Amino acid sequence: MNTAHEKRPVRWTFVVALAGVVAYGITSDALASPETATSPVIAINKAAETTPIKTNPLRGSISELDGSGGNITVLTGGDGAFMVDAGISLSKDRLQTALRQLGVDKVKYLVNTHWHWDHTDGNPWVHDLGATVVATPNTAKYVSQTTRVEDWNYTFPPLAMGGRPTELIRTERTYHLDGETILVKPIAPAHTDGDIVVYFKNADVLVLGDTFWNGIYPFIDNAHGGSIDGAIAAANEALGMCTDQTIVVPGHGPIGNRAQLMAFRDMLVGVRKNVAALKSQGKSLDEVLAAKPSAEYDPKWGQFVINPAFFDRLVYQGLNHHGSGRPSL
């Protein structure tokens, strides 16, 4: 399945895709070519060096910062800030300026929604602001060792000691800070096998990390425990945690709501169904891609980040990963 022949086009497709996450608003065609795209990580880090940080006030004392890889959520208050994800370290100066503008000079807790570097690379400097880093054991494991990601053509060194999670949680835990009640909840493998979602109860803000990409096809890290079925289960679980009033923060894409999360879940289910039906007929990956199983969703979901062929491939391989080609939904 993972022949070198297949990997080359997928690898640079991902460069185009993820570079688009950072350089929001720039068309993907302008961003990369197979010749220049040695690794999406290098391209994204380069973008993070110059991308402005935008602060989006959400509700109460909670804001979202974007422009440094994955979305970052911050609760401010006298006890020190509570942050969800830390972005890319090259954005440190601009992120610190944005935090200062929110009145933040110390951080009490930093939760990592999962291990990917566009959510954890900033851990060390946030820890230097006082943060205890909270994550699942699998997230802690991946950021504490050298981790190779073939699809990204990149080998990640371990994070500096201070940036490694020290508060490891396997089941949900509640934090109380500045009058807010915060539920930090590890979930079953979905985007990776170390995902966490965070719910700010009083403000009614639900932060889903990369288990939710708002309006765009998601990446699913099959190599680190993720799968399409896990992604669908996580979306269903998240739907059970919110109402129409809830502000739903995705890992990538604009701030969302329950209706948008439901549309995301429905898209996952629909593409999974079509891919699995073809796979159950014994079709190869190339044959499945040629049949364009996500065609009805592509105009809306496939225009920006992960392109249709790459998403279809992730779904197919996720099914294969679990040895099941039968549609279950």
Query: Which residues bind to Zn ion, rule: CB under 5 A?
Result: 116, 210
Q: Give the residue with the Cβ less far from Zn ion, 66 or 180.
A: 66
61, two tokens: 């004392």
Query: At a CB cut-off of 8 Å and minimum separation 6, what does 91 contact?
Result: 48, 49, 51, 53, 67, 68, 69, 122
Output 203 or 268, the one with its CB closest to Zn ion: 268
Enter the tokens of residue 284: 């190869």
Q: Are 62 and 205 in contact (CB under 8 A)?
A: yes
> Measured from the CB atom, is 80 or 226 closer to Zn ion?
226
In angstroms, give the least distance from the CB of 116 to Zn ion.
Answer: 4
**In angstroms, what is the minimal distance from the CB of 178 to Zn ion?**
28
Helix (H) or strand (E) holding 175: strand 173-177
**Can you give the C-alpha Rg of the chain in angstroms?**
19
Query: DSSP of 203-237, one letter per residue?
Result: TTEEE-GGG-BTTSPPP--GGGT--HHHHHHHHHH
* 114 versus 279: smaller Cβ distance to Zn ion: 114
Give yes or no for a contact between 201 and 182, defined as CB atoms under 8 angstroms apart. yes
CB of 287 to Zn ion, least distance (A): 29
Q: How far is the CB of 225 from Zn ion (least distance, A)?
A: 12
Q: Using alpha carbons, select from 280, 199, 274, 278 the residue that is nearest to residue 240.
A: 199
Nearer to Zn ion, 151 or 180 (CB): 151
CB 270 → Zn ion: shortest distance, Å?
Answer: 22
Beta pairing partners, 65: 55, 72
CB of 194 to Zn ion, least distance (A): 10
Q: Minimum CB separation from Zn ion for residue 119, in Å?
A: 6
Could you tell me the strand order of the sheet in which 54-59 lies?
Answer: 54-59, 62-66, 72-75, 81-84, 107-111, 132-135, 167-168
Q: Are 192 and 172 in contact (CB under 8 A)?
A: no
Instruction: Give whichever of 66 and 210 is closer to Zn ion, judged by the CB atom.
Output: 210
Comparing CB distances to Zn ion, the nearer of 64 and 210 is: 210
CA distance 91 to 289: 37
Residue number, 41 or 288, with CB nearest to Zn ion? 41
Task: Kindly give the pairing relationship between strand 107-111 and strand 81-84.
Answer: parallel
User: C-beta of 251: minimal distance to Zn ion in Å?
Assistant: 6
Tokens of 194: 């170390």
